[in-house]
Structure formats: structure tokens, C-alpha cells
Structure 1
Amino acid sequence: MQFLFKFYQRITWLSIDVVLGAMAGMLFFSRALRVELDWQEYALLGMAVWCIYTTDHLMDARKLTFHHRKGRHHFHLIYRKPLLVVLGIVGSLGLVWAIVFFGFSRELFFGAGLGVLILVIMLAVRKFGAEQVRLKELSSAVFYVIGISWLPWYEMPEIDYTWTALGLTILYMGLAYLNLIMLSCLDTESDKEAGFVSIATKIPQERLLTNIRNLSISLILCSFLGLLLVNSFYRIYPGLLVIMLLVHFLCFFKTNLSAEQVRMRMEVAFLVPAILLLI
């Protein structure tokens, strides 16, 4: 059992769980927006997400010293050189594959532009993080959902645009934001030790926990209300959001779980939309 835990821990440190969660999220939006995507588009999304997250972790790891002997950032510090090599290979292959698959089309330029914008924002957050700390998690959540949903939105005919689809997108952004501030809260001590700035290092713990509880309940209620109000075609999508939100809420406020166990369960929650493959 300990071996399985350590294996999964390495998977999370390499952001493989985030990649799978992003691909499941794209599936969520492709089904909700009634768009058929090729498997290559899911693979390219996964490669882009891995490159962005790995770049982010490597940039964070540069602030550490070898005295920090635990966690994801220490892993990226120790294996910095091989990860940079793999990052270069995956990034180059992804770019060439995207050009071959999309051609020099608007999809290619929009996707590449979005990736560059996310990297620029990552750098800006590091430069002005202390002054704009509350925007870090919010901007990350917004761009994460834009990243996994823009292609289904782009390929969907305008005639199919609905307020329901927009509402699902906003709720998914709320879920992503909740996930990030929960993770920030779990990492408060290690972030302070390493000198990282986050919403949890700037807002008092008691106040932040209250905000997390209120946001969780609000999102659960909104998703449950959507489950009751939308037509039968859309009903499964707010239902999936309810499940994902409940997993976050119950795991985060369950006191007998370690921070690492809570983190793993919350990341697994983003795989819930993969159920749509069976329907």
C-alpha cells in the first residue's frame, strides 16, 4: 500500500494527474457543447498543460535550496536538468504536432497565443505577487478553464450558444478557484518556509477557512439548483459538478486526512467527467 501511495505521489509531482484532469475537463465541455473532438486534440491539450505546469514548478523550485527536503518543489529542484530536457522535447513535439494537425489556422494561433499569455501572466504573478496575491489563484482558475474549454466553444455553432453552457463554464471556473485556494491553504506552512507568496500566506487562516466553506456551499447549491432547472440533456453536467464539489468539501474538512491525502483526492475529483466516456 505504501508503494502505491509513493507511486501516485510521484504521478502528482509530475503533474500527470493534472493533465488527465484537464483532458477530462475538455471532455466535459465537448459533450456539454455537443462538439466532437479528435483524440489528437486531447493529446495536444495534455502536452500543453504538462508543459505549463512543469514550467511553473521549475520556476518555483529555483527559489529553493537543497535544505528543503520534501514535496513537489524539492522533486523539481533535484531533477531540474532532466525535467528541462523532457520539457524541451515535449514542447517541441507538441508545437510540431499542432502545426501538422491544425495547419496555420486560427485554432493554432489562438491556442499558441493563449499558451504565451498564460506564461506571461505566470511571470507577472511572480513579479507582482506580493501586491496582487488575491489575483494569483483567480487568474489561474480562469485561464485553466479557458484552456480546456476554448476549443469546444470555438467549434460549437453560434446557434447552439446557451446561457446553460455559459453557466456551466462559470461554475467550472468556481470549482477550479476553490481547488486552488484549498491547495494554497494546505500548503501554507511549506509556502512560508520556502518564501512563496499565496492567498493563504496573506489572509488569516480562520478567515480563509470561512471563505472556503462559504464558497464551497455556494457553488454546491448553485450546481444543485442547475441540476433541478436545466433540461434533461444538460442535467448530467451540473450533476457531475455537484459530485466534484462535494469531494472537495468533504475531503478538505475531514480532519483525519493528511494534507497529501486531501490533495490527492481533490485532484482525482477532476477525473469525474471521464464517466462521460461510458455514456
Structure 2
Amino acid sequence: MQFLFKIYQRITWLSIDVVLGAMAGMLFFAEALRVELAWQEYALLGMAVWCIYTADHLMDARKLTVEHAEDRHHFHLIYQKPLFILLAVVGVTGLIWAILFFGFSNELFFGAGLGLLILGIMLTVRKWASKQVRLKELSSAIFYVIGISWLPWYEAPSIEYSWTAVVLTILYMGLAYLNLIMLSSLDTESDQESGFSSIATLLTQEKLNPRIHQLAIALIAFTFLVLVVVNSLYRILPSLLLVMLLVHYLCFFKSSLKPEQIRMRMEIAFLIPAILLIL
């Protein structure tokens, strides 16, 4: 069991779980908007997400020494040169593939522009982290969901635009934000030791955790309400979202798991929409 845990730990350090979660999220929105995407679009999203997250981890790791780096940053600090090379290869390959697949179309320009915007926000957040730390998790959550949902929204005919799709998008942003502030709470000590800023380094645990609890309950209650009133054709989607929220709540508040185990379970929760492949 310990061997399997170590394997999955390496997968999380390489952000493979985040990539798969993002692809599952795109599938979620494709179902919500009743649009069928090509497998290449999922693959290109995965490559873009991996590049963004790996670049983020490498920028974090460069600020640290081996003695002050947690496991994830320690991995990126030690292997930063091969990871930089792999990042360049994946980035260039993804760009060429996107040009060949989309051509010089609106999809290509919007996707590339969104990627550059996200990178710019990452750099801005780092520069002003100590002053605008509350925006870090919120902006990350918003742009994460925009990144995985914009293509289904773009390719769906306007007749499929519905209040259900809008509400599910907002709830997914709420879930992403909940995930990030929960992770910030788990990483408080390591962030303080490493000199990183987050909402958890701004607020004490006594103030932050009750707010996390209130947000989680509010999201769960509202998602349940959507599940009750939504058209039966879409009921599976708020059901999956509700399960994802409950996994976060139970792992964070109702378990005696170690922080790393909680982190892994919450990241696995984002794979739940993949069940749509067999339904």
C-alpha cells in the first residue's frame, strides 16, 4: 500500500492528477452544453494545464533552498533542469499541434491569449502577493474554470445556453475556490516557512476554517437545490458536483487523515466527472 502511495505521490508532484481533473472538468461542461469535443481538444487542454502548473511550481521552487522546500517543491527544485526542458518540449509541441488542429482560427487565438493572461496573472499575483493575497485563490479558481469550460461554451450552439449551464459554471468556480482555500489551510506552516503568501497566511486558522465550513455548507446546500429543480436531462451533473463537494467536506472536516492524504483525495475528487464517459 505504501508503494502505491509513493507512486501516486509522484503523479501529484508532476501535476498529472490536475491534468486529468481538468480534462474531466471539460467533459463535465461538454455534457452541460450538450456539445461533443474531439479527443485532440482534451489532449491539448491537458498539455496546456500541465505547462501552466509545472511553470508555476518551477517558479515557486526557484525561490527556495533544499532545506526549506516541501516535498512537491523539493522535487521541482532538484529536477528543475529536466523539467524546464520537458516544459519547453510540451509547450512547443502543444502550440504546433494546436495550429495544425485549429488553424489560425478564433479558437487558437483565444486559447493562446487565455494562456498568456493566466501566466500574466500568476506573475502579478507573485509580485503583489503580500498586498492582494485574498485575490490569489479567487482569481486562480475563476481562471481555472474559464480555462476548462471556454471551449465547450464556444462550440455549443446558442440554443444550448441555459440557466443550468450558467449556474453549474458558477458552482464549479465555487468548488475550485473551496479546494484552493482548503489546500491553503493545509499548507499554512510550509507556506510560512517558505515565505509564500496565501489566504491562510493572512488569516488565522481560527478565522479561516469557520469561513471554509460556511462556504462548503452553502455550496452543498445550493447544489442540492439545483439538483432538485433542474431538468431530469441534466440531473446527473449537479449530482456529480454534489459528490465532489461532499468529498472535500468529509476529507477536510470529518477525517483524521494526514494533510497529504487529504490533498490527494480532494484532487481525486476532480476526476469524478470522468464517470460521464460510461453513462
TM (normalized to structure 1)?
A: 0.99
Aligned residues: 279
Q: Distance in 2 between matches of 1:128 and 1:220?
A: 32
Deviation of residue 169 (structure 1)? 0.1
Deviation of residue 158 (structure 1)? 1.2
Deviation of residue 160 (structure 1)? 1.8
Deviations 1:170-225 (A, max 9, x none): 00000000000000000000000000000000011111000000000000001000
Deviation of residue 66 (structure 1)? 1.7
* 8 Å Cα contact 2:61-2:69 kept in structure 1: no
**In the alignment, residue 212 of structure 1 is paired with which amino acid?**
I
Report the equivalent of 1:270: 270
Report the equivalent of 1:163: 163
Deviations 1:121-141 (A, max 9, x none): 000000001110000000000
Q: Distance in 1 between matches of 2:87 and 2:198?
A: 25
Task: Determine helix, strand or coil for the equivalent of 1:130.
Answer: coil
* 8 Å Cα contact 2:30-2:152 kept in structure 1: yes
Deviation of residue 49 (structure 1)? 0.1
Summarize the alignment of residues 169-248 of structure 1 with structure 2, pairs less than 5 Å apart.
Answer: 169-248=169-248
Q: Distance in 1 between matches of 2:131 and 2:182?
A: 21
Q: Distance in 1 between matches of 2:233 and 2:69?
A: 50
**In the alignment, residue 132 of structure 2 is paired with which amino acid?**
Q
Deviation of residue 255 (structure 1)? 4.0
Q: Distance in 1 between matches of 2:96 and 2:154?
A: 22
Deviation of residue 68 (structure 1)? 2.6
Report the equivalent of 1:2: 2
Q: Distance in 2 between matches of 1:46 and 1:269?
A: 17
CA RMSD, Structure 1 to Structure 2 (Å): 0.7
Pairing 1:72–2:69 present: no
Summarize the alignment of residues 148-159 of structure 1 with structure 2, pairs less than 5 Å apart.
Answer: 148-159=148-159
Q: Distance in 1 between matches of 2:71 and 2:190?
A: 9
Report the equivalent of 1:22: 22
**In the alignment, residue 221 of structure 1 is paired with which amino acid?**
A
Q: Which 4+ runs in 1 deviate beyond 4 A? A: none
**In the alignment, residue 51 of structure 1 is paired with which amino acid?**
C
Report the equivalent of 2:86: 86
Deviations 1:80-104 (A, max 9, x none): 0000000000000000000000000
- Indicate how the Cα distance of structure 1 residues 218 and 39 shifts in structure 2: closer, same or farther if over 3 A, else same: same
Structure 2 runs not aligned, ≥5 long: none
Structure 1 runs not aligned, ≥5 long: none
Q: Distance in 2 between matches of 1:159 and 1:70?
A: 48
**In the alignment, residue 124 of structure 1 is paired with which amino acid?**
T
Deviations 1:47-72 (A, max 9, x none): 00000000000000011012135311
**In the alignment, residue 177 of structure 1 is paired with which amino acid?**
Y
TM (normalized to structure 2)?
A: 0.99
Deviations 1:232-277 (A, max 9, x none): 0111111001000000000001341000000000000000000000
**In the alignment, residue 130 of structure 1 is paired with which amino acid?**
S
**In the alignment, residue 138 of structure 1 is paired with which amino acid?**
L
Report the equivalent of 2:249: 249
Range 191-200 or range 154-163, more displaced: 154-163
